[in-house]
Structure 1
Amino acid sequence: MSSEERHRIILNILENKGSVLVTELVSQFKVSEMTIRRDLVALERKRLLRRVHGGAVSDRGRSYEPPFLSRSTLGQAEKERIGKLAAELIHSGESIALDVGTTTLEVARSLVEKQNLTVITPCFPIASMLCDNHSIRLILTGGILRPTELSMIGHLAERVFEEFYVDKLILAAAGIDFETGLTEYNLEDTLVKRAMIRHAKQVILVADATKFNRVAFTAIAPVNVVNTVVTDRSIDPSTVAKLQELNIDVMLA
């Protein structure tokens, strides 16, 4: 297992439990104590956890959102596979809403060579990635810039999505829980996502397996607004079964 994959799992444990012991991680990953301590140091330098005697704790509440650039380095291989698979669901002539997120950015990367699309996004990195393809009609929403997320929020961003009806929405979420629903860190982002969902014919959720059974700060919508989930193969089979019970198609990258 790569260090990147261990980091992703460690952060998921902290998200759910709030703390973890070095000895627990040594046992789980079958690596040396020194390796785990290096992992914790690396994550602390990114301000993703706080080391304590014998382990680490999360000192972040549910409303804390790790910066876009920090998240983009976690689970990169899984996100790339998810992005490529989700892009296969998008066809020439369609209109697409692309949400903000590091996984939706990977979807955009796989759309660069696509032809005859209309893409609406509140995300600057996505717009920058697609702007050189002149066969894609690109609409970047207005609004208030969130510097750490490189995205647009506020009434103007919401209003843009109220003006259009798209074929497909590629949606991201901070947490996916069957009781709580889809959740996000930031209220303003959540309001934009709700507008996207209301005006999309089909909702495709892209999320790696660590996002499931997690609850963030603000509620976006029930899980059953989603038509298709694209995730990675480490997802728990029982979670896949629950999604399928809701008539949600599940694609494993």
Structure 2
Amino acid sequence: MATERGVRVSTKLRRVSIVNTLLNSGKVSITELAQSLGASEMTIRRDLEALEADGVARRVRGGAISTQSRSYQPPIMQRSSQETEAKMRIGQAAAELLAPGETTILDGGTTTLQMVRSLNPNLAVTVITSSLLIATELDSKPAAKTVVTGGILRNGEMSLIGSAAEDWFNDVNCDSVFIGAAGLTVDKGITEYNIEDTRIKQAAIRCSRRVVVLADASKMGHIAFVNVAPLQVIDLLVTNAPASDGTVSALRELGTEILHV
């Protein structure tokens, strides 16, 4: 695909852009997409056919409408098969940021799960998490001390939510927190699909000295249902999004460290 500047990008990135537009606007026009993405209308039709097959769009006359909502998030095992390569690179880079003796919080999510899988098994760190999947994965890291919060099990996520999980963070002080994001935008900052998950993230952010956000390119410019925190709270962003991305540029102007993978 050629952009307005004549630079060719992959079909995958073009479809990510279409999905983000669908999620934010609820509908897309073939003609408008062809113009904004610098592609032919036939190419856009093929993209929409593929997205309909994936279940994220339904084709209508002249375009498509979203089958998703700002408050809908597929189960974690389904999400683990999406953007796999990007999440692996982000997770590997994030794992290298931990220092021996550090106490960190790991948010429940597919990218932080990749981070845990990349941890050096000999790295002596204390990891606090509300994710049972992450806690299970940490069992293969003998040097890591794993602390699991209390709470109520959230079906489909294998994570703990509720006041018991939130209150747990009120009594601790941590070196860092690594969190994922459903969306990142200049206006809304970090956003999430689920209110209970949002409260856990907010509590974890409050008790951490450094906030690290792990987000692949598909999250840039997307707004999910619940506001988590403004961009100003982010100390470091690990992403595969290009440096020219609007949200990445805004974070850089705020003084946020950006680690591109």
Q: TM-score range by the shorter chain?
A: 0.7 to 0.9
Match of 1:192 in 2: 200
Change (3 A) 1:121 1:183: same
Match of 1:99 in 2: 107
> Is 1:159 aligned with 2:167?
yes
Query: Contact (CA 8 Å) 1:115, 1:136: kept in 2 or not?
Result: yes
> 1:108: how far off?
1.3
> Is 1:133 aligned with 2:133?
no
Query: Contact (CA 8 Å) 1:233, 1:252: kept in 2 or not?
Result: yes
Change (3 A) 1:247 1:71: same
SS in 1 for 2:252: helix
Equivalent residue runs for 1:143-158 within 5 Å: 143-158=151-166
Gaps of 5+ in 1: none
Distance 2:219 2:44 in 1: 27
> Percent identity of the aligned residues?
39
Distance 1:88 1:115 in 2: 10
SS in 2 for 1:10: helix
Match of 2:250 in 1: 242
SS in 1 for 2:73: coil
> 1:243: how far off?
0.8
SS in 2 for 1:111: coil
C-alpha RMSD of matched pairs (Å)? 2.5
Query: Contact (CA 8 Å) 1:157, 1:192: kept in 2 or not?
Result: yes
Change (3 A) 1:220 1:114: farther
> 1:75: how far off?
1.3
Equivalent residue runs for 1:1-253 within 5 Å: 7-21=15-29, 24=33, 35-36=46-47, 39-44=50-55, 48-111=56-119, 113-234=121-242, 236-253=244-261
TM-score, reference length from structure 2: 0.85
Distance 1:79 1:155 in 2: 30
Q: Which moved more, 1:146-155 or 1:69-78?
A: 69-78
> 1:58: how far off?
0.9
SS in 1 for 2:137: helix
> 1:225: how far off?
0.8
Runs of 4+ displaced beyond 6 Å: none
> Which residue identity is paired with 1:144?
I
> 1:91: how far off?
1.3
Change (3 A) 1:230 1:162: same
Residues 50-94 of structure 1: CA distance to partner in whole angstroms, max 9, x if unpaired? 333454311433222222223222211111111111111111111
Distance 2:46 2:122 in 1: 42
Query: Contact (CA 8 Å) 1:5, 1:74: kept in 2 or not?
Result: no
SS in 2 for 1:135: coil
Change (3 A) 1:50 1:81: same
Residues 71-120 of structure 1: CA distance to partner in whole angstroms, max 9, x if unpaired? 22221111111111111111111111000111111111111524211111
Gaps of 5+ in 2: 1-8
Change (3 A) 1:56 1:168: same
TM-score, reference length from structure 1: 0.87
Change (3 A) 1:59 1:13: same
SS in 2 for 1:108: helix
Residues 149-204 of structure 1: CA distance to partner in whole angstroms, max 9, x if unpaired? 22110011112222221111001121222222221111111111111011101100
Change (3 A) 1:231 1:53: same
Q: Which moved more, 1:26-35 or 1:183-192?
A: 26-35
Give the number of aligned pairs.
Answer: 250
> Which residue identity is paired with 1:186?
N
